[in-house]
Amino acid sequence: MRKAGGNLRPWIGAAIAALTLLSYWQIRGHGFVDFDDPEYVTENRNIRAGLTAKSVIWAFSATRAGNWHPLTWLSHMLDYRIFELNPGGHHTTSLIIHTLNAVLLFLLLSRITGFVWRSGFVAALFAIHPLHVESVAWISERKDVLSALFLILTIWAYSSYAEKPGLRRYLLVVLFFVLGLMAKPMLVTLPFALLLLDYWPLGRTRSVSARSGFRALVVLVREKIPLFAIAAASCAVTLVAQRGGEAVATFQELSIGVRLANAVSAYTWYLYRTLLPVRLAVLYPHPGPTLPVWRVLGSALFMVLATVAVLRCAARRPYLAVGWLWYVVTLIPVIGIIQVGSQSMADRYSYLPLIGIFIMIAWGIPELLRRGGTSREAAVSTPRPFVLQPAGKLITAAALLGILLLSVVTYVQAGYWHNTISLFERAARVTSGNARAYFLLAKAYQETGDRGRSIACYRQAIQAYPDYAEAHNNLGNALALRGDINEAVSHYRRALRIRPNYGRAHGNLAAALYLTTDYEGAWREVRLAKRYGYAPHPSFLRELSKRMRAPD
């Protein structure tokens, strides 16, 4: 059967690409931001070495930044080889990959479902939804767009394998899956997602009896055992890398109950922001044990009821169950059960999971409004044209208006990524008690020489989180440069009460005590700084030695 709108696929793909480029074009003029970009590019000597034999070996052996993702490192090396430290080039690469992802997602969905317009709507939402700005406009999140590219290619290869199983086609699935994991380990849930696609739209689980259906499920799970094994190995490597980088919070810091409460709340938060993408920020502080009970219980109840509802109608409307479970399953690696970093959630985590929600919207609304409902057979395998009756015209107009509005919001949201100051000013403004945002904003002001604003932001960071040792230390530095030595000393001492092994704070305190002529105290702090891995400048040590009449 000829697929409705199939002859328009090149034009729809071109329109999606054009819409994506227009929504994000401004990021080509943005700079690096002082939030992981130094770690990933600007201050990473291995990246700045370019594609050399030594740097390639490093990429495959390093667990820097708490991850093992050699393909991501290689992409940054290639960018540096071409663009050096011109951020516009790095941004352009991410934008091109994201645009390619959107077009390939459209072509993939239209191929495996037979629905061209609905697939185009899903791809358009994926391309320009404001929650995805972080993944595209942040150079350090190259791993998001790169891993998504290989996820789409993996599913494409798998659909080809499903049509005609064979070893070569299966090995291609394995290859793309491994490459995706080498870009970002979030793809570990992909084998589960492939099982969902087996149900719909591939229709590989259909059978005439429950018993034979169970046997079919066993066969489908068994054929994915190599993929599950690869995913398990990736989980193990990632956990080791994150623990080695001290990125994983301990259960003493965040209990399992606190993590589960935040995870349940995060599931509904992403859905809320999908429908109302406002007040988005690069950092959302973790609430710890302060989440309201009503919010946690309400979120849990919603998740249970939604899951029961989509499973009950799975026979007639399988796209609802598949889309919902795609969303739930693909979010698991980043939902916070294993807490990495200090955020409660992040826009970038929704980059892949929201594909499932977009499918629910694109298929669910027109099918639910279609007179007479949808038979299971038609929903699973038979392409049907979308007839523009009055309800259909209304849906089409609403879809186009929604895409236009979202693209405008995305353009505005992308503008906040212009530089470090604009990014964290926005984060501090739309969130409350965001100590990390104020801290990074203070550092950015300090680098521009705006000492007054820097000090004010450090104070706000400390007000939001009084035990912020780094903020006390940096505030001490800013105060010392302004000449407020006594107040600087008090902040250094506060930092050291919080973290007694903070070598840099011991070194800074030594310098401040030297200026107050407390040379014995300064010498004591120098010894502590060295003990904890910080070496004060040799010229300072010489001057202090002279004052102490001690050997150099």
d(CA 383, CA 113): 7
> By C-alpha distance, which of 395, 337, 340 is closest to 366?
395
CA angle 245, 423, 452 (to 5 degrees): 95
At 533, is the secondary structure helix, strand, or coil? coil
Instruction: Quote the CA–CA distance of 443 and 445 in Å, as a whole number.
Output: 5
CB–CB of 541/526 below 8 Å? yes
Q: How far apart are CA 466 and CA 435, in angstroms?
A: 9
Residue 383 clears pLDDT 80, i.e. is over it: no
**pLDDT for residue 339:** 65
* Closest residue by Cα to residue 482 from 451, 457, 508, 461: 451
Q: What is the pLDDT of residues 414-459, one digit of tens each?
A: 999 999 999 999 999 999 999 999 999 999 999 999 999 999 999 9
468-482: per-residue pLDDT in tens?
999 999 999 999 999
Give the sign of the dihedral formed by CA 529, CA 531, CA 536, CA 539. positive
Extended beta strands in 248-396, E state? none
Its pTM stands at 0.92
| Contact call for residues 197 and 112 (beta carbons, < 8 A) | yes
Average pLDDT, the chain: 90
Q: What is the pLDDT of residue 397?
A: 86
Q: Can you tell me whether residue 466 is helix, strand or coil?
A: coil
Structure tokens, 196: 């969902």
State residue 465 phi and psi, 5-degree precision: -145, 90
Residue 255: the pLDDT is 78
Angle at 197 between CA 98 and CA 157, to 5 degrees: 60
Lowest mean pLDDT among 135-144, 231-240, 393-402: 393-402
Q: Helices 435-448 and 420-430: crossing angle, nearest 10°?
A: 150
pLDDT band at 373 (very low <50, low <70, confident <90, very high): very low
Cα–Cα dist 417/411, whole Å = 11
Task: Assign 395 a pLDDT band (cuts: 50, 70, 90).
Answer: confident
Burial 438-470 (b: 16+ CB within 10 A, else e): bbbbbbbbbeeeeeeebbbbbbbbbebbeebbb
pLDDT tops 80 at residue 520? yes
Residues of the chain with CATH 1.25.40.10: 420-548
State both tokens at 538: 């040799």
Give the span between the Cα atoms of 329 and 196, in whole angstroms: 10
Nearest to 326 by CA among 52, 126, 479, 33: 126
| Residue among 177, 292, 306, 181 nearest 238 (CA) | 181
| Upstream peptide bond of 201 is cis (omega within 30 degrees of 0) | yes
Of the candidate ranges 26-35, 170-179, 382-391, the one whose mean pLDDT is the lowest? 382-391
Res. 253 pLDDT band, cuts 50 70 90: low
For residues 381-409, give the mean pLDDT.
Answer: 74
User: Is 60 exceeded by the pLDDT of residue 380?
Assistant: no
Whether 152 and 297 have beta carbons less than 8 Å apart is answered as no
* CA dihedral sign, ordered 491, 495, 501, 507: negative
Q: What does R_g of the chain's alpha carbons equal in angstroms? A: 27
Strand partners, 248: 340
Instruction: Tokens for 230, please give them.
Output: 């690869």
Q: Is residue 386 predicted with pLDDT exceeding 80?
A: no
| Joined tokens for residue 375 | 């038979």
More confident residue, 336 or 225: 225
Answer CATH for 420-548 from 3.40.50.10810, 3.40.50.700, 3.40.630.30, 1.25.40.10:
1.25.40.10
* pLDDT, tens digit, 9 for 90 and up, residues 204-238: 987 534 446 678 888 999 999 999 999 999 999 98
The kind and range of the H/E element at 300 are helix 293-312
For the cut 90, the answer to whether the pLDDT of residue 252 exceeds it is: no
Quick one: angle between helices 293-312 and 256-275, nearest 10?
70
In terms of Cα–Cα distance, which of 36, 32, 39, 47 is closest to 81?
47
Compute the half-sphere exposure of residue 350: CA atoms within 13 Å on the CB side of its CA. 29
Find the helix or strand (DSSP H, E) in which 490 lies: helix 485-498
